[in-house]
Each structure stands twice: as C-alpha cells, then as structure tokens.
Structure 1
Amino acid sequence: MSTELFPFSGNEQKSMAFTPILDGSVYNCRTKWNVAAQRWYLDITDNSGRRQLTIPIVGSPADYDINLLVGAFSTTKMIWRITRGQIEVIN
C-alpha cells in the first residue's frame, strides 16, 4: 500500500490541480470552489479529457476516513484530511 500526499488547505481563493494514480492509471484532478453551494468540488478526468467523476469534497476527521472515490474506483481511496491540510491518495 502506498500513499501520495497533495497539499490542499481548502482556501476558497486557490483551486488546485494534481495528477494522482487511481486504480493503476494516471488521472487529472482539479478542485473547484462552488460559490452557490459554498463547498469544494473535485473533477476527475482521464488523459483524453473525458470526465470520469465530479463530486463534492467532504473532509475527514483525523480518526476516520471518508473515501471520496467510493463506488467510482475499486482499489484507490482519496481522503481530504482537513486537519493536515492535504489530500491523501492511498493505493
């Protein structure tokens, strides 16, 4: 099991792009702040630009994992750890 860490503070002024390995393939991820909903969303696209997933980002507490990829990817977990200011991708 390996873990990739991507810094993400949740600051509404700073969107973020990163390219994690999800289920063995590289994907493009981008965070976007939705003003109307007052929350972050995560867009995941493959290398050809096709959208794979758009989901609201839910923060996980230090002692519990909320997997953002549940039902979309079978072996990879993605967790936003608010207290650490990072997104964790666990393969």
Structure 2
Amino acid sequence: MSTVNYPFTGREQKSMTFSPILDGTVYTCQMKWNIAAQRWYLQITDSSDNTVMNTAVVGSTTSGCINLIEGVFTATTMIWREKNGQIEVAS
C-alpha cells in the first residue's frame, strides 16, 4: 500500500486542485469552499471533465479515519488529516 500526501489545512483562501490516482486512474480533485454551507466540498472529475462525485469534506483525527471517497472508489482511500494539514490518498 502506498500513500501520497497533498497539503491542505482548511484555512486556504482559494480552491485547491490536485490529481491523485484513484483505483488506478488519474482524476482531478478540487477542494471548493461553499460560502452558504460554510464548509469545504470535494469535487472529483474524470479526464472528460465529468463529475464523478461531489461531497462535503469531514476532517479525521490522527487516530480515526473518515474515507471521503467511500462508496465510489473501492481500492483507494482519501482522508483529510485536518490537524496535520494533509490529505492522504492511499491505494
């Protein structure tokens, strides 16, 4: 199992984009602030710019794990370690 970390503290002033490998395919992920909900959302699109998922982001503690992409991707996990300021993508 390998893990790739992407820096994200949740205090960013603008959206952040990164391109992880999820279940063997490269996707584009964007963290977007929703002003009405006052929270971050994760939007994942494929290479044809089709939205695969759009979900609210929930931070995990250092000991607990909330998989942001559960139910859509089966071989990969994505966890936001809010305290560490990292998004962990493991496959």
Is the structural similarity TM-score above 0.5?
Answer: yes
Note if contact 1:12-1:33 (Cα within 8 Å) is conserved in structure 2: no
Q: Does 1:37 align with 2:72?
A: no
Alignment of 1:24-63 (within 5 A): 24-63=24-63
Distance 1:50 1:69 in 2: 16
Please state how far the C-alpha of 1:59 moved relative to its aligned partner: 0.2
What is the identity, as a one-letter code, of the residue corresponding to 1:54? N
- Equivalenced residue count is 91
Task: Structure 1 unaligned segments of length 5 or more: list them.
Answer: none
- Residue in 2 that maps onto 1:22: 22
Runs of 4+ in structure 1 over 3 Å off: none
For residue 22 of structure 2, what is the amino acid of its counterpart? L
**Number of the residue aligned with 1:76:** 76
For 2:6 and 2:14, locate their aligned partners in 1 and report how far apart those are by CA, in whole Å.
14
SS in 2 for 1:84: coil
Who is 2:4 aligned against?
4
Counterpart-to-counterpart distance in 2, 1:3 and 1:20 = 10
Identity %: 57
TM-score, normalising length from structure 1? 0.97
How far off its partner does 1:14 sit? Answer: 2.4
Aligned CA-pair RMSD: 0.7
Q: How far apart are the structure 2 equivalents of 1:74 and 1:80?
A: 17
Q: Structure 2: which 5+ residue stretches go unaligned?
A: none
